């Protein structure tokens, strides 16, 4: 029996080791290429050890694009996005986990349903929203007013003794109100100019509608013992105080996992920043790198430097914080 296990172990390692090396090869070669002159990258045999051209490649990258500036943009965009998104999704997740309120089922299924809707279904109107020629954040205000109005309407219907019992009527009224008032108001608002293109906000705002984050925070707030929150309530703490002082500290590790995943997703995002950032000074690092790849006369060593600089910090973090990355990735998939 023991002998049999030894053979199984041997086969396992014989199979996995070459595969693992093959998997690491692109990352290793990315690093090697970033330190080699262009001519070496395309020579046979391919160089497999680092050279000494990193500084020269960095310099050519910096002159092709203002790469350090784009790195700064990336840090700011991903940082602001992560903070705001954690704030919004945990507030919403807490509401879904902690409170019973009218319209909860509908709103939650609405938010969750968007998880299976391809991003392309919204990208064009999103683009029109942030790119249109106009002056103010009027559309956001109108959007908030419309949905706030619907929320208040739902709340009122709940309180009204006769209508409160016929829930479907409330949903129908809300849907009609949205179709007749919300849709035209938003279409009207879209003709105003946000002038958000080439700003950090153009990248940040649309991605804040992150339903996976809401779902994830809800799951975590559900695991907080309700009795603890009730105790704080009996002590006379307000709802927001309970949220910040009692509930949030209890889910901090989960929040950290979500923050890492959100930061990474924002950092690596390509399509949306490509659409809304055309000004070279405002581009994020992936967009700047991507713009170089299509060009014919370009330093591949420089591009590899950019790839290394956008990747290496996360590889190092990954070595130390693997647990958090993995917690963030498995968040949606596996029930405990």
In the region spanning residues 210 to 229, those forming contacts with another protein, defined by CB under 8 A, are 211, 214
Residue 59 or 143 having the CB closest to another protein: 143
Among residue numbers 43 through 102, which ones bind another protein (CB under 8 A)?
Answer: 43-46, 87-89, 91-92, 94-96, 98-101
Task: Select from 14, 49, 55, 121 the one that contacts another protein (CB under 8 A).
Answer: 121
Nearest to 195 by CA among 141, 283, 142, 134: 134
Choosing from 30, 80, 237, 246, the residue that interacts with another protein (CB under 8 A) is 30
Contact 48, 29 (CB under 8 A): yes
Tokens for 311, please give them. Answer: 């990747």
User: In 3-state terms, what secondary structure has residue 161?
Assistant: coil
Kindly tell me which residue out of 186, 246, 250, 256 binds another protein, with binding defined by CB under 8 A: 186
Rule CB under 8 A: choose which of 9, 136, 160, 223 binds another protein.
Answer: 9
Q: Which stretch binds another protein (CB under 8 A): 61-69, 136-144, 166-174, 251-259?
A: 136-144
**Positions 144 through 173 that interact with another protein (CB under 8 A):** 144, 146-148, 151-152, 155, 158-159
Cα-Cα-Cα-Cα dihedral sign, residues 160, 166, 167, 173: negative
Tokens (6 digits) for 268: 């690596």
> What is the four-CA torsion angle of 176, 148, 168, 185, rounded to 10 degrees?
10
- Residue showing tokens 């479907």: 168
Q: Is residue 256 a contact point for another protein (CB under 8 A)?
A: no
CA distance 14 to 28: 21
- The one among 49, 120, 135, 225 contacting another protein by CB under 8 A: 120
110 binds another protein (CB under 8 A): yes
Residue whose pair of structure tokens reads 């959007």 in the numeric block = 143
- 252: Cα within 13 Å, side-chain hemisphere: 5
Where does this chain touch another protein (CB under 8 A) — which range of 53-61, 223-231, 249-257, 260-268? 260-268
Write the CB contacts of 277 (distance below 8 Å, at least 6 apart in sequence).
Answer: 197, 198, 202, 203, 283, 284, 287
Site residues for another protein, window 189-208 (CB under 8 A)? Answer: 190, 205-206, 208
- 214 in Cβ contact with 94 (< 8 Å): no
Q: Supply the minimum distance, in Å, between the C-beta of residue 107 and another protein.
A: 7
CB of 255 to another protein, least distance (A): 15
How would you classify residue 314: left for phi > 0, otherwise alpha for psi between -120 and 50, otherwise beta? Answer: alpha
52 and 296 Cβ atoms separated by less than 8 Å: no
Contacting another protein within 230-249 (CB under 8 A): 239, 243
> Which residues between 272 and 311 bind another protein (CB under 8 A)?
275, 286-287, 289-290, 293-294, 300, 303-304, 306-308, 310-311
CB-wise, 2 or 52, nearer to another protein? Answer: 2
Indicate whether 262 belongs to the interface with another protein (CB under 8 A). Answer: no
């Amino acid at each position: 029996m023991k002998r049999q296990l030894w053979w199984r172990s041997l086969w396992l390692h014989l199979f996995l080791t070459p595969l693992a090396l093959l998997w690491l090869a692109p990352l290793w070669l990315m690093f090697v290429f970033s330190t080699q002159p262009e001519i070496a990258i395309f020579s046979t045999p391919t160089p497999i050890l680092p050279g000494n051209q990193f500084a020269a490649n960095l310099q050519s990258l910096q002159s092709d694009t203002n790469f350090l500036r784009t790195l700064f943009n990336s840090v700011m965009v991903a940082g602001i996005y992560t903070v705001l998104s954690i704030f919004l999704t945990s507030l919403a997740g807490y509401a879904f986990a902690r409170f019973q309120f009218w319209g909860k089922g509908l709103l939650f299924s609405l938010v969750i349903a968007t998880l299976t809707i391809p991003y392309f279904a919204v990208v064009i109107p999103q683009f029109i929203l942030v790119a249109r020629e106009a002056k103010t954040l009027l559309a956001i205000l109108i959007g908030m007013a419309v949905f706030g109005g619907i929320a208040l309407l739902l709340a009122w219907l709940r309180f009204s003794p006769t209508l409160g019992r016929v829930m479907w009527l409330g949903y129908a009224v809300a849907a009609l109100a949205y179709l007749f008032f919300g849709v035209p108001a938003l279409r009207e608002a879209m003709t105003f100019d946000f002038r958000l293109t080439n700003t950090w906000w153009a990248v940040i705002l649309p991605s804040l509608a992150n339903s996976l984050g809401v779902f994830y925070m809800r799951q975590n707030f559900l695991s907080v013992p309700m009795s603890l929150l009730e105790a704080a309530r009996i002590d006379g703490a307000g709802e927001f105080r309970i949220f910040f002082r009692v509930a949030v500290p209890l889910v901090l590790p989960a929040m950290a996992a979500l923050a890492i995943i959100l930061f990474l997703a924002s950092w690596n995002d390509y399509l949306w920043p490509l659409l809304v950032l055309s000004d070279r000074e405002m581009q994020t690092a992936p967009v700047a790198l991507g713009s170089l790849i299509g060009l014919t006369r370009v330093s591949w060593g420089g591009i590899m430097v950019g790839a290394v600089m956008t990747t290496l910090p996360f590889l190092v973090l990954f070595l130390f914080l693997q647990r958090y990355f993995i917690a963030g990735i498995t968040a949606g998939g596996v029930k405990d």
